[in-house]
Amino acid sequence: MNVLLLSMPDYFEHMPPVAVRMPNGALTSLAGNVDDHHRVAVADLILSYRQVRETINGLIHDFDPEIVGLSVMTFQRQTAQHIIDLARALRPGVKIVVGGYDPSLAPDAYEGMAVDYIVRGEGEITFRELLRALERGGGWENICGLSRREGNRWLHSPARPVHRLEDDEIRPPNRGARVLQGYTLLGRQVDVVETSRGCTYDCSFCSIIEMRGRNFHTYSFERVLRDIRDARDRGARTIFLVDDNITLNVRRFEQLCHAIIEARLNKLDYFVQAMTSSIASHGETLAPLMRRAGFRYVFLGIENILEGDLQFLRAAAKNRARDNGKNNGNATLKAIEYLHRNKMYVVGGLIVGNPDDTQQSIEANLAFARRYVDWPYIQHPTPYPRTPMTEHFRERGLITNERHEEYDGTTAVVRTEHLTAEEIEYLRWKAERWMKVRHMPAAFCHDPCFVVRHAPEMLAHTFRGCTLRSVLGLEDDRKAFGRYKIIRRRERAYV
Ligand code: B12
Ligand code: SF4
């Protein structure tokens, strides 16, 4: 069968496509796990976000798919709907399958769309079995993790238990299935690699627990190194390790760094997401080792610098420094210091606009980011389907915006007890632009040609809505913010 797999073109504020166009790891993993006789094409639509309609027209015409699969996050739901309608109009008989975080956690939202199947949770085996059932013309009822349309109703099979990655049930990704080019992270070709799945924490804003429960499974190092080599041989110079929480098992992470060094794969740049507590507690040995292994950017889940907010986010435990098992205060500063001492850059993940936040508490976080982080990744709490946080905001009547296409993390869609959503977003927007400019020299030293060529476009993106007058302080910033909001709204019309 011909299978076309698509990831959505929608991007958010901190990942402007001029600088960041990342592949979707789910689709190549699905492509690697279908039976060999299928012909699979993977198209990451971020690579053609300005010509989505033309690209889909071309792909459907040239590839003639019998199955179209879409990977969707919540803020991409509306775009997914448009792409589903387009695919259906171009090939009325095509079977359409959706999967990923949004269809898994809000399947009802897709039941009204022109969709035939919803794959809930991990997709590799479910999708393989679905294709087999389609070829056989039956047997759907035994496929766990599948919802399917039958006449006017939807039937949902039981959830699929999470995969143990240790037993090699999941085969390696198939990057050869990609049909579009142009992946980049600041000018270097980027690829994504998984070494583990899952997390045993339960932060209230994170979708992972509802998606797969609290567990942690790991691929063998042999497989991980093979996967990194495959990405490198296809041209990648930066590897994003997309693990949910690679620092959950610090000993394993250290061994992985050693394995990367021994395999001489440490000439690549690595980007990883980490917990502050693990870096703070083990930084003395872990941070120099990470540097030797090639780690360059570390996304730190700081979440918030104030204890009350950390409690609300259920993120206090993962931000606690521990020495010999003893609680030793907040881990954030210590973690940042270890990373900086070892010449790594900190991407600071902060969440501002929590229910009891005031202007002062938000500004305290912004001031912290200004002082300590290299690239701000500041977001607003966003009520994604079925997270504990969503329930909390709903109970307190603080959700002000139900337009899911705006649930991109940097659009404030909830208010606090003291501030409007608009005010919260304005405070972040105003501060963050200048923090981003400060990272330009470091990016220039690493990739001068890219920065010289693209600096005007990157600055234009960061400062969209601003004029010379507003930058010089001759015009109220709120006017520029108003223009930015209009531009951002327009950007969301991808199809
Ligand atoms: C790595 C990652 C990123 C990376 C890379 C994204 C990329 N291009 O791959 C970066 C940092 C860029 C990123 C950014 C964002 N992310 Co992100 N990200 C993740 C993370 C950590 C892992 C995702 C991953 O690659 N997993 C590995 C793959 C193999 O697993 P998977 O995606 O789950 O896919 C499996 C199934 O879902 C299913 N499946 C998926 N698609 C499909 C399609 C079909 C047809 C089928 C059958 C099955 C299927 O099968 C797959 C294999 O088992 C998750 C989870 C987490 N713990 O935080 C968040 C997560 C996906 N991100 C999220 C969000 C919100 C974002 C942002 C909007 C804001 C933010 N928080 O940073 C931006 C938007 C990005 C953009 N497009 O501009 C949310 C999504 C919530 C939701 N309900 O939509 C998550 C769940 C985090 C959270 N807050 O809870 N992200
Ligand atoms: S530590 Fe990270 S992956 Fe784990 S629940 Fe919290 S935010 Fe999610």
User: Which pLDDT belongs to residue 111?
Assistant: 97
Q: Are 438 and 373 in contact (CB under 8 A)?
A: no
Rg (CA), the chain: 22
Residue closest via CA to ligand 2's atom 8 equals 206
Q: Residue 136 carries which side chain, given as an amino acid letter?
A: R
Residue 323 pLDDT greater than 90, yes or no: no
Per the DSSP assignment, residues forming a β-bridge with 42 are 5, 178
Per-residue model confidence (pLDDT) at position 255: 98
- Mean pLDDT for the stretch of residues 31-56: 98
Instruction: Look up the pTM and report it.
Output: 0.97
Q: Which amino acid is at 475?
A: E
Q: Which of 298, 333, 303, 296 is nearest to 318 (CA)?
A: 303
Return the residue whose CA atom lies nearest to atom 53 of ligand 1.
122
Average pLDDT, the chain: 96
- Tens of pLDDT, residue by residue over 181-203, are 999 999 999 999 999 999 999 99
pLDDT greater than 90 at residue 16: yes
Q: 273 C-alpha to center of ligand 1: Å?
A: 13
Whether pLDDT at 149 is above 80 = yes
- The whole-number pLDDT of residue 321 equals 82
Any ligand 2 atom below 6 A from CB of 246: no
pLDDT in tens, 48-77: 999 999 999 999 999 999 999 999 999 999
Q: Is the CB of 206 under 6 A from ligand 2?
A: yes
Buried b (16+ CB within 10 A) or exposed e, 289-314: bbbebbbbbbbbbbbbbbeebbebbb
Verify whether ligand 2 is closer than 6 Å to residue 197 (CB atom). no
CA distance 123 to 493: 28
Ligand 2 close to Cβ of residue 203 (< 6 A): yes
Ligand 1 neighbourhood includes 69 CB (under 6 angstroms): yes
Q: What pLDDT is recorded for position 327? A: 75
- Spatial CA neighbour of 198 closest among 216, 184, 181: 216
Give residues with Cβ within 8 angstroms of 265, minimum separation 6. Answer: 225, 228, 229, 232, 294
Q: What is the mean pLDDT of residues 8-33?
A: 97
User: What is residue 17's predicted lDDT score, i.e. its pLDDT?
Assistant: 96
Amino acid letter for position 80: A
**Mean pLDDT on 310-328:** 86
Rounded average pLDDT over 89-96: 98
Q: 419 pLDDT exceeds 90? A: yes
Q: Is the pLDDT of residue 322 over 80?
A: no
CA distance 276 to 26: 27
Question: Which atom of ligand 2 has the smallest separation from the CA of 206?
Answer: 8
Q: Is the pLDDT of residue 328 over 80?
A: no
Express each pLDDT in 135-145 by its tens digit.
999 999 999 99
Q: Which ligand is nearest to the CA of 300?
A: 2
Are the beta carbons of 404 and 78 closer than 8 angstroms? yes
Ligand nearest to the CA of 407: 1
- Closest atom of ligand 2 to CA, residue 207: 8
Percent of the chain surpassing pLDDT 70: 100
pLDDT of residue 330: 80
State the average pLDDT over residues 460-474: 94
Residue-wise pLDDT tens digits, 253-292 = 999 999 999 999 999 999 999 999 999 999 999 999 999 9
Which atom of ligand 1 is found nearest the CA of 11? 78
Q: Are 175 and 39 in contact (CB under 8 A)?
A: no
The mean per-residue pLDDT over the stretch 37-43 comes to: 98
Asked whether 318 lines ligand 2 (CB < 6 A), one says yes
CB-based burial label for 287 (10 Å; 0-12, 13-18, 19+): buried
Q: Is the pLDDT of residue 120 over 80?
A: yes
207 close to ligand 1 (CB < 6 Angstrom): yes
Kindly state the tokens that stand for 477: 């910033």
Instruction: Pick from 6, 29, 73 the residue to mutate for probing ligand 1's pocket: most ligand atoms within 8 Å of its CB.
Output: 73
Q: Which atom of ligand 1 is nearest to the CA of 208?
A: 57
**CA dist 283 → 163, 218, 310, 459 (Å):** 31, 22, 22, 34
Closest ligand 2 atom, CA of 202?
Answer: 5
The residue-averaged pLDDT of 377-383 equals 98
CA atoms in the 13 A half-sphere facing the CB of 178: 23
Cα 111–chain centre separation: 24
From the CA of 318, how far away is ligand 1's center (Å)?
21
Say what angle helices 359-372 and 332-341 make with each other, to 10 degrees: 20
CA 152/CA 368 separation, integer angstroms: 54
Mutation to probe ligand 1, out of 71, 216, 248, 494 (largest number of atoms < 8 A from CB): 71
CA–CA dist 351, 204 (Å, integer): 12
pLDDT band at 446 (very low <50, low <70, confident <90, very high): very high
Q: In degrees rounded to 5, what are phi and psi of residue 379?
A: -125, 170
Which pLDDT score is estimated for 31?
A: 98
Name 233's bridge partners. none
Buried b (16+ CB within 10 A) or exposed e, 175-207: bebbbbeebbbbbbbbbbbbbbbbbebebbbbb
pLDDT of 329 strictly over 80:
no
Tokens coding 317 = 């435990």
User: Is 301 touching ligand 2 by the criterion CB < 6 Å?
Assistant: yes
CA distance linking residue 488 with residue 73, whole number of Å: 18
